[in-house]
Structure 1
């Protein structure tokens, strides 16, 4: 990842509504959410949310696909991983024990995500997510915390 891409990514997240939308989409992985549902959960007008999602999309932080009349947005976790890796690539000046707390934090997050998705991951293909599987997500009706 190039410096320009990292700057674009973090610039896109440097606005409260876009940060909230990205965090909401991260919680909704791998299913994603329709644009209208993102707007509803964040109490943002649809046109405003559309503009915010466009910024996130241009920065590479979200992907979208058409499903019927809806556009489903998903967090691009690979892109975020690359941006974070860019930040810590030269971490610790040869002393990896200094970075252990950061690595543990990211590992714990990954382990929690894996265990919460483990039961439903066997039921869906890598690119498909039925509405039944997504509706069982405990975050699907939650509002982004302050």
Structure 2
């Protein structure tokens, strides 16, 4: 039982850490620091369509909120992996360290690995999905 408790806490920590980064990078950084228009211009500057900047913002924000709550964790983790691989690609020319000018590629790659691990782990014990499932079970009785 002690092992299970540690696993549940570890899943919670991984899930909420990934959520915190996604929300910080989308809502705070892309919306308030760079602005959505500035983010779109960055996408254009690296040869991607500007609209993709807005799409990535929405995908990061939605996935971040879902992961924070523990709602459909496997789905939203898989949903965000292509975005994170895209961020790894976008930073690949900047070198290994994220402290390099323009940020390196190791940080988005780590986030990609975290999301892939979360796909395997699922919601975990401390997730809203468990509450919703229990509520449905009680309602059907």
The answer to whether the superposition gives a TM-score over 0.5 is no
What TM-score comes out, normalization by structure 1 length? 0.30
What TM-score comes out, normalization by structure 2 length? 0.31
Looking at secondary structure, tell me which structure has more strand per residue.
1
Looking at secondary structure, tell me which structure has more helix per residue.
2
